[in-house]
Amino acid sequence: MPKYVYFFGEGKAEGKGTLRDLLGGKGAGLAEMTNAGVPVPPGFTITTEVCRLFYKNKKRVPGSVKKQIDKHLHRLEKAMGSRLGDPEHPLLVSVRSGAKFSMPGMMDTILNLGLNDKTVEGLIRKTKDERFSLDCYRRFIQMFGNVVLGVEKSVFEEVLQGKKKERGIVQDIELTASDLRDLVARFKDTLRHHAKADLPQDNYRQLEMARDAVFLSWNNDRAIFYRRQYNIPESLGTAVNVQAMVFGNMGPTSGTGVGFTRNPSTGEKEFFGEYLTHAQGEDVVAGVRTPKPIRQLKGEMPLVYQELVRITQRLERHYRDVQDFEFTIQQGKLYMLQTRSGKRTGPAAVKIAVDMVQEKLIKPEEAILRVEPDQLHQLLHPRIDARANVKVIAKGLNASPGAAVGKVIFNATEAAEAGKRGERVVLVRQETSPDDIHGIAAAQGILTATGGATSHAVVVSRQMGKPCVAGCSAISIDEERGQFLANGVIVKKGDMIAIDGSTGQVMLGDVPTIQPDIQELEKGEYGKLMRWADQFRRLGVRANADIPRDAIAARHNGAEGIGLCRTEHMFFAKDRLPIMQEMILAQTPEDRKAALDKLAPMQKEDFKGLFRAMGGYPVTIRLLDPPLHEFLPKQGELIAEIQELRFSQGDRSVLHQKEILLDRVEQLHEFNPMLGLRGCRLGITMPEITRMQARSILEAACELSREKIRVYPEIMIPLVGTVEEFRHQKQIVLEVAETVFKAQGVRVQFLVGTMIEIPRAALTADEIAKEADFFSFGTNDLTQMTFGFSRDDTGKFLPKYLAEGILDFDPFVTIDQEGMGQLIRMGTEKGRQSRPDLKVGICGEHGGEPLSVGFCHTLRLNYVSCSPYRVPIARLAAAQAALREELKTKDRRPKTRRRRSKSSKS
């Protein structure tokens, strides 16, 4: 019989051959702390395997598993000297989730389970504390009613607030035993009214229902959303931890808190956290009350504080990572309830990783693997412009750094909808709950009136890199009126505000922000981490850039060349578009060439700017790709303008020109322009275009070469499907090159390659590679053609595909390795069979997505190319792919490594 239940401390939770996959992160931490002699209330873990069985077995736990649960429950009862349901010595337990990967607040918890109308009286007799016992009971009814029976939290909260209003009090702790007894009765009535059920009085039945509710919470909306945000597999499941309760609500010498061994916002090596006296854990993490900074505990309970620091520092050394811990103090005695690797901001992740290398806790390889590539975006967060004249209207806790500016929205769903429309919003809430995750993800920033820097929602905001100001008691929110009041200032829904998550300030209006200085970042921990990453990665990283400004930004971010310059973007400038339209309207090749001759000097200067910015790194220039109609006015607009001119008897010469333009637009009209006259087909039907662009590229290269500036042009023929298409265009480029070199009196090295974006090109890559010097996979179009999806129309069905699990991810964001990825694999392998030294890269936006970068590493591509601002993400992802491959193959290299040569970067 497989083992499905583990008592805390059974088995090995960490290291080689661990049970972490079965116990989940929380269960593994509790087991490890128990084995280390840390004060942990006893309990047991029902494994993730049971969760998978639960879903396979029509959402029922098999009888064989129930027997193991009963056995471990009896062991827990023996350890505690009390029994579940015993009216004289009742055992109270917490029932908590715990997946392999931390998902803070996304799944459910039930505290104080084991209470009913009889056991609560037994608890009163045992503790001689009626108020404490009834407080536990009303908390249990509220949590059980919400998590297990599905009654909204707000329903119970309304009853609670109504009682406090009757009594004229503000804080929960001001409620008397009599008040709480009345609340218990009201909560039971509320449960009966909304759930159409009574609170189960059988405590064993309570445990079964709570256990199943936690398993079901693995598939609640917020947990599913969170997993998709962070690529956590749906198949993992959650463990369930059943643990003896310890109580932080037993008076002034009791309390509960959450902390981190280092500051999760900044990474500073400081003891960071919050706590509440006379409270239970959910009071802190749910954000309902604003807790006290953990440093105040040193004054209130100095011995407990010292023990807490000692234990958590020991845990950090043991795990060699910053720890996120939960604790409860029961009448002066400390208990640890959880430890796990702490969620942290991007800046904190980088600082902690580098500091731990310097402290000799970890090696540079481990530091690289500790930072999620997408977290680097957060180092590039905008900040409030110091020169701006700002009106500060309130100040709260600086919970997550960075500046955010947007319209005030009070509802998470509205924030998510506004985000889809591209609007900037700041989500303003009394307190955020895990149910708000979709709104948090869409908002620029989050502002809350209550809650602390360790509440679940703030932890999630921090992980997502969202600026957050929490516990801002200076604001009073009135959701019914759609406004909040801040120190006499009324701010309404839709008004613009700014928040600074680094200082806690809230400002009125559309406050200007500025980007950080990359060159300054290079001098600190960020620069050190990225230099380590560059030492370990094999994959080169280039940027997609069309103008010198973007190329310079790419170089500052560490790009090793341009992997895609889209020349069509150069023709949309105001001074060029009329000439481009003149070329399109030309009736003869001679007239077309005359227009192109006007564009050629402008193109040449464009290319010189890019070559200069790249300073000797390769520059891949794609010849004209889009359909020509994109450079002309829309047909409907022209028809409307012509009708207006005819009706008003306007200028006849203008009317005539519009009619000629309309005639040409109608000639160029295509039913499916993305599969029509574009790419190499344009160059074949209008070879003058290819000649002009090739001449401009090579003349620019020759002129800079004479200035002793190194240039490496790579000319890319787009949309090739057959080797004959490529050969046709390549021949034109080679003929132009000879003419240019002869005229310039200088020769430069250059390559002619192709973009592989049509499936047929991948299938016949061995033939194309006999002619092409390099391949660059255009993964945007290749995805479109592989799936048969129109990029511009997927919004009509792709969200449904993702919600229904038809697709696990958006294939335009992450490479579809099983489908389109196999075309990349095939094209690369077939191409290198014909040309072993074939240079291969990708240049779609997938080039900056970490999972896609890892896939490109496994295929042994030469480089990826992405947006200039995703270059650091790609660099780090490439290093992580190399290190994970090394760990997987156990191919340990010497500690001293050589930097990669420039040739490997190219």
Point out the residues that are catalytic.
Answer: 456, 843
Residue 118 phi/psi, 5° resolution?
-85, -45
- 823-852 as b/e: b if 16+ CB within 10 A: bbeebbebbbeebeebbbbbbbbbbbbbbb
**For 817-898, where are the E strands, in sequence order?**
839-842, 863-866
Nearest to 366 by CA among 893, 879, 900: 879
Alpha carbon of residue 371 to chain centroid: 13
Would you state the structure tokens that stand for residue 428, as one six-digit string?
Answer: 């303003």
Contact predicate 184/199, CB 8 Å? no
Q: Could you tell me where the DSSP H helices lie in 764-816?
A: 765-769, 779-787, 798-804
CA distance 326 to 329: 10
Nearest to 108 by CA among 245, 233, 228, 286: 286
Find tokens 């023990």 and name the residue: 307
CA distance 903 to 163: 74
Measured torsion, CA atoms of residues 498, 500, 505, 506, in degrees rounded to the nearest 10: 20
Nearest to 226 by CA among 357, 99, 45: 99
Residue 621 phi/psi, 5° resolution?
-115, 120
Find tokens 């090749």 and name the residue: 589
Find tokens 């061995």 and name the residue: 766
Interacting residues of 761 by C-beta distance below 8 A, sequence separation 6+:
720, 721, 722, 754, 768, 827
Helix/strand number for the chain, H first, E second: 36, 31
- What type of residue is 841? G
Contact predicate 666/711, CB 8 Å? no
Would you state the structure tokens that stand for residue 95, as one six-digit string?
Answer: 């029932």
- What type of residue is 754? T
Full DSSP string of 591-612: HHHHHHHHHHHHHHHHHHHHHH
- 623-645 as b/e: b if 16+ CB within 10 A: bbbbbbbebbeeeeebeebbeeb
Full DSSP string of 277-291: ES--HHHHHT-SS--
Q: How far is CA 104 from CA 107, 204, 334, 429, 721, in A?
A: 8, 27, 23, 19, 49
Burial of 194 (0-12, 13-18, 19+ CB in 10 A): middle
Interacting residues of 888 by C-beta distance below 8 A, sequence separation 6+:
none
Q: How far is CA 812 from CA 229, 384, 533, 844, in A?
A: 15, 33, 26, 9
CA distance 450 to 472: 6
Interacting residues of 168 by C-beta distance below 8 A, sequence separation 6+:
none
Burial of 387 (0-12, 13-18, 19+ CB in 10 A): exposed
Q: How far is CA 506 from CA 444, 452, 469, 747, 865, in A?
A: 14, 16, 8, 60, 39
Find tokens 């200035």 and name the residue: 707
